[in-house]
Amino acid sequence: MIELKNYTHLIWDWNGTLLNDAWLCVDVMNGMLQERGLPLKTIEEYRELFDFPVKDYYAKLGYDFDTEPFDQVGMEFILRYNQRQAETMLHPEVQEVLARIAAQGFSQNILSAREHNELISETKSVGVFDFFDRIRGLDDHYAHGKIDIGLHLVREMGVPGKKILFIGDTRHDAEVAAALGIDCLLVTNGHQSEDRLLQLGIQLINSLNDII
Ligand SMILES: [Mg+2]
């Protein structure tokens, strides 16, 4: 049973965990699927299909990488998502949850697969930048994935791994936490369904309100 009082440092995932953007991913992807004559997805279907590496998820949607390389469709998705990013908002409870956790003296940090500069500007635009001691996204110039930057982040924190809790919304987040040697809590209102997350045997919460 995970209890916040056993930790001093939190590492948050961004997309799906704090930012409510699964609906935008579905909307942008459906636009691309429609243009290719592929079947559209509901958000429930999306939560059953979305996965890392995302290339496998694209294959499940019906993309044919022989006619259209994955790098090309993957980039098209990111560009279209970025154009509409300003439409996203935090999950409604997030501001209050972050404020209450900050008031209890925790160090809060973000580890995300989002591009670093985009991540910084998004946290500012939704008004939560100041809650975080460290915000780390991917920078292709030096990072090879979320695990690499995560290991660096944990070293920077300078506390034993058992004092750090990772909070995410996907099976990949659980893998990252395991690789970093830290505990993990997953929320079920992000990018993957509760049924899929249940298979991990990790503690789940339905909303971040349940964390306090
Ligand atoms: Mg996420």
Share of the chain above pLDDT 90, in %: 92
Rounded to the nearest angstrom, the distance between the alpha carbon of 7 and the centre of ligand 1 is 21
pTM for the model stands at: 0.95
Rounded to the nearest angstrom, the distance between the alpha carbon of 21 and the centre of ligand 1 is 9
Q: Are residues 78 and 96 in the same domain?
A: no
The H or E element spanning position 30 is helix 22-35
In the structure, what pLDDT confidence band is assigned to residue 120 with cuts at 50, 70 and 90? very high
DSSP 15: B
- Per residue in 165-202, pLDDT tens? 999 999 999 999 999 999 999 999 999 999 999 999 99
Structural domain ending residue among the three candidates 56, 87, 118? 87
- Per residue in 6-26, pLDDT tens? 999 999 999 999 999 999 999
Structural domain ending residue among the three candidates 87, 109, 137? 87
Rounded to the nearest angstrom, the distance between the alpha carbon of 22 and the centre of ligand 1 is 9
| pLDDT of 111 | 97
Rounded to the nearest angstrom, the distance between the alpha carbon of 33 and the centre of ligand 1 is 22
Q: Are residues 10 and 36 in the same domain?
A: no
Residues contacting residue 112 through CB under 8 Å, at least 6 positions apart: 13, 14, 15, 119, 135, 136, 137, 138, 146
Cβ atoms 116, 139 nearer than 8 A: yes
Rounded to the nearest angstrom, the distance between the alpha carbon of 65 and the centre of ligand 1 is 25
In the structure, what pLDDT confidence band is assigned to residue 141 with cuts at 50, 70 and 90? low
Q: Is 54 helix (H, G, I), strand (E, B) or coil?
A: helix
Q: Domain range for residue 11?
A: 4-20+89-211
| pLDDT of 1 | 85
| pLDDT of 144 | 66
What is the C-alpha separation between 38 and 5, in angstroms, rounded?
Answer: 48
Q: Are residues 129 and 196 in the same domain?
A: yes
Mean pLDDT, all residues of the chain: 95
